Structure 1
Amino acid sequence: MKSVGILGVGQAGGNMAEIASVLGFQTALINTNQRDGAVNTRVERKYFVPGYNGAGQDRSLGMRAVQEKYREMIDFVLGSFKNIKLLLVAFSTDGGTGSGMSPLLIDLLIDQLPGIKVGAIAIIPERNVLAGNRINTAECIEELSQIEGISSVFLVDNDQMRKLKPQSSKHEIYLSANRQTVEAISHVLKITNKSSFYGNFDETDLMNILGTRGVTLISSVAITDTKTSAEVSTKVQSSWENSIFCPVESQGVIRAGLIYEGPETISKLINVPSIFERVGEPVQLFEGTYLSETDPTVTTILAGLYFPTRRLLSLEESLEKNKERLQNLVKKEHTQKYESSISWASNLKIKKTEKQTVSITSKLSKYKK
């Protein structure tokens, strides 16, 4: 795992880095809130932005933290990762720290890490999050998509996990999505260390794929019961729909990886044009075949995909529908006031009068008859 580093930004990013540390990745985290990062005990390298105590879901605070402390952050990253070829910045798009800091930080790191590709692991929230979170995600993804030198962007979709585990708590959804994301990247890295007479998928192949600008997806699927090439292709394509990443919405793969592990008899069912028919033939395809007696599995990596417009619009639609109401709510915050209609009653309030001392003689004389 030494060729890929994972930098967690914000609480969600720190949690992703925590899992990555357990799996052997080089990791570090940056946060505006020390209490959030303190729970990530497996991550040894940490930078907490001085003068901040969280961002309170305010992206502008996260962005300002980078603008104020970018030199310290760059130095921290340079000192935290050694001999890596790819740095993936992990964060949630709907908060304040990770969402606000990460696009700008990635843009800066691209020029400050010579010879190292910089990509992202961006977490997309469930569809039922509230307006503020939706706004943050839309702004963050827009900024991320405009970074010219960025490498692979993995869009981790919590909605996908909710479909698979509808009764799970938020914590379970987050933990499962984070774990599956890091395990998917770990799996393809481990494959690059294997040897085969039939075609190796090496680290150079992987870095060529992951260095591609655009959205990237990794999926693995067992093809144990398949009997035809069409069944294999259907299973692989279904794995793209059921992965923890945003589903593929349109054609346009630039670079791809196709790795088969299993018996030789099943390998004969793999038909490359058929598998990629739905997303289009990639410009470059890197393959690996590893024959064994294990259950047959196909792992695919799709890179250079378009950002999933339909998925992102699903977050924006409710904002558009409630545009007037939301604008009025914000306006009310600055204009609302209450005017009392009983100002006349203030004169009815009892007022204390000063007590005047009267002589005893005066009081006695008042009662003389």
Structure 2
Amino acid sequence: MKSIGILGVGQAGGNIAEIASSMGFETALINTNQRDGLVNTRVEKKYFIPGYNGAGQDRSIGLKAVNENYKEIIDFVQRSFKNIRLLLVAFSTDGGTGSGMSPILIDLLLDQLPGVNIGAIAIVPDRNVLAGNRINAVECIEEISKIDSLSSVFLVDNDQMRKLNPQSSKHEIYLSSNHQVMEAIKNVLQVTKKSSFYGNFDETDLMNILNTRGVTIISSTTLTDAKTTTEVASKIEQSWGNSIFCPVESIGVIRAGLIYEGPEKMAKLVNVPLVFERVGEPLELFEGTYISESDPTITSILAGLSFPTRRMRALEGSLEKNKERLQSLVNKEHTQKYDSKISWASNLKAKTPQRQTGSVTSKLSKYKR
């Protein structure tokens, strides 16, 4: 796991770094709230922005924290990660610290970590979040999408988790999605250590894929019930839509990986042109075939995908629909007041009598008979 580092930013990013630490990844975290980061006990390297106590879902506070402390933050990251090839910055797009800090931090690190590629694990909220969170997410993803030289962006979609587990609590969804994204990355890294007579998928292959600019997904599916090349291709395609990542929306995969593990007879049913018929054949394909008696499984990695326009429009939809109401709420915050109709009644309040002091002589004469 030493070739990939995980830098958690904000509470959600710190929780991903916590899971990554338990899997053997090099990790570190940055937060504006020390209480959030202290619960991530497995992450040894931590930097808490001085003078802050959280960002309160305000992206401008996260941005301000980087502007004021960028030298210390960059120095912390440089000291925290040694000999890695790819750094993935993990954060939630709809909060304040991670959403506000991560785009500018990634942009800075691209110039400050020579020889290291920078990518992202960005959590996209489900469609039930409120307006402020939707605005944060849309702004953050727009900024991320415009960063030059950025490597793979994994968009972990909580909406997908909600569809697959509709009865789960918010905490269960967050924990499950965090585990699954790190499991997916760990599993493909572990494959690069295997050997095969039929074609190896090595670490250089993986890094060629993950260093591709754009959105990346990793998905796996079992092929036990498949009997034809069409059924195999269909199962692989379905796995893309059922993964924890934003679903593939458009044609255009730049680099891809296909890793098969299982009996040799099933490997013969993997037809590459058929697999990529819907999304288009990639510019480069890296394959690995590992023959065993285990259940047939194929893992696919698609990189260089476009940012999911339909998914983002779904977040924006309710904002557009409620535009006038939301704008009126903002105006109301700064203009609302109450005008009393009984201002005349202030004179009715009990008042403390003002005592006039006098000389002793005058008071004595006052009572003389």
Equivalent in the alignment of 1:287: 287
The offset of 1:68, in angstroms, is: 1.2
The offset of 1:159, in angstroms, is: 0.7
Equivalent in the alignment of 1:256: 256
Counterparts of 1:227-238 in structure 2 under 5 Å?
227-238=227-238
Q: Which moved more, 1:12-21 or 1:317-326?
A: 317-326
Q: Are 2:25 and 1:25 aligned? A: yes
* Helix, strand or coil at the partner of 2:44: coil
Q: Are 2:38 and 1:43 aligned? A: no
In 2, Cα distance between equivalents of 1:352 and 1:26: 71
Equivalent in the alignment of 1:222: 222
Counterparts of 1:56-71 in structure 2 under 5 Å?
56-71=56-71
The offset of 1:270, in angstroms, is: 0.6
The offset of 1:257, in angstroms, is: 0.2
The offset of 1:349, in angstroms, is: 2.8
Q: String of CA shifts for 1:302-353, please: whole Å, max 9, x gaps.
A: 0000000011111111111111111111111111111111112223333343
Q: Are 2:270 and 1:270 aligned? A: yes
Equivalent in the alignment of 1:3: 3
In 2, Cα distance between equivalents of 1:270 and 1:135: 42
In 1, Cα distance between equivalents of 2:212 and 2:225: 34
Note the aligned Cα RMSD (angstroms): 1.5
In 2, Cα distance between equivalents of 1:353 and 1:3: 82
Equivalent in the alignment of 1:333: 333
Equivalent in the alignment of 2:83: 83
Residue 17 of structure 1 aligns to which amino acid in structure 2? A
* Helix, strand or coil at the partner of 2:270: coil
Residue 19 of structure 1 aligns to which amino acid in structure 2? I
Residue 221 of structure 2 aligns to which amino acid in structure 1? V
Equivalent in the alignment of 1:350: 350
In 1, Cα distance between equivalents of 2:9 and 2:349: 59
Equivalent in the alignment of 1:319: 319
Aligned-pair identity (%)? 75
Equivalent in the alignment of 1:94: 94
> Are residues 283 and 342 of structure 1, via their aligned partners in 2, closer, same or farther at CA, if it must alter by over 3 Å?
same
Structure 1 unpaired stretches of 5+: none
Structure 2 unpaired stretches of 5+: none
* Helix, strand or coil at the partner of 1:63: helix
In 1, Cα distance between equivalents of 2:149 and 2:354: 80
In 2, Cα distance between equivalents of 1:117 and 1:48: 24
* Helix, strand or coil at the partner of 2:8: strand
Query: Which TM-score applies when normalising by structure 2?
Result: 0.96
In 1, Cα distance between equivalents of 2:85 and 2:79: 15
In 2, Cα distance between equivalents of 1:361 and 1:301: 107
> Are residues 54 and 354 of structure 1, via their aligned partners in 2, closer, same or farther at CA, if it must alter by over 3 Å?
closer
Residue 75 of structure 2 aligns to which amino acid in structure 1? D
Equivalent in the alignment of 1:126: 126
Query: Which TM-score applies when normalising by structure 1?
Result: 0.96
In 1, Cα distance between equivalents of 2:209 and 2:347: 80
Q: String of CA shifts for 1:165-189, please: whole Å, max 9, x gaps.
A: 1111111100000000000000000
Residue 341 of structure 1 aligns to which amino acid in structure 2? K
Residue 241 of structure 1 aligns to which amino acid in structure 2? G
* Helix, strand or coil at the partner of 1:70: helix
In 2, Cα distance between equivalents of 1:230 and 1:294: 22
Residue 300 of structure 1 aligns to which amino acid in structure 2? S
* Helix, strand or coil at the partner of 1:279: coil
Q: String of CA shifts for 1:204-247, please: whole Å, max 9, x gaps.
A: 00000000000000000000111111111111000000000000
* Helix, strand or coil at the partner of 1:147: coil
Residue 209 of structure 1 aligns to which amino acid in structure 2? I
Residue 72 of structure 1 aligns to which amino acid in structure 2? E
The offset of 1:64, in angstroms, is: 1.1
In 1, Cα distance between equivalents of 2:34 and 2:353: 58
In 2, Cα distance between equivalents of 1:342 and 1:352: 22
* Helix, strand or coil at the partner of 1:98: helix
Q: String of CA shifts for 1:56-115, please: whole Å, max 9, x gaps.
A: 111111111111111111111111111110000000000000000001000111111111
* Helix, strand or coil at the partner of 2:55: coil
Residue 59 of structure 2 aligns to which amino acid in structure 1? R
In 2, Cα distance between equivalents of 1:144 and 1:359: 85
Residue 185 of structure 1 aligns to which amino acid in structure 2? I
In 1, Cα distance between equivalents of 2:327 and 2:38: 38
* Helix, strand or coil at the partner of 1:74: helix
* Helix, strand or coil at the partner of 1:212: coil
Residue 62 of structure 2 aligns to which amino acid in structure 1? G
Equivalent in the alignment of 1:300: 300
In 1, Cα distance between equivalents of 2:184 and 2:243: 10
The offset of 1:148, in angstroms, is: 0.6
In 1, Cα distance between equivalents of 2:97 and 2:24: 26
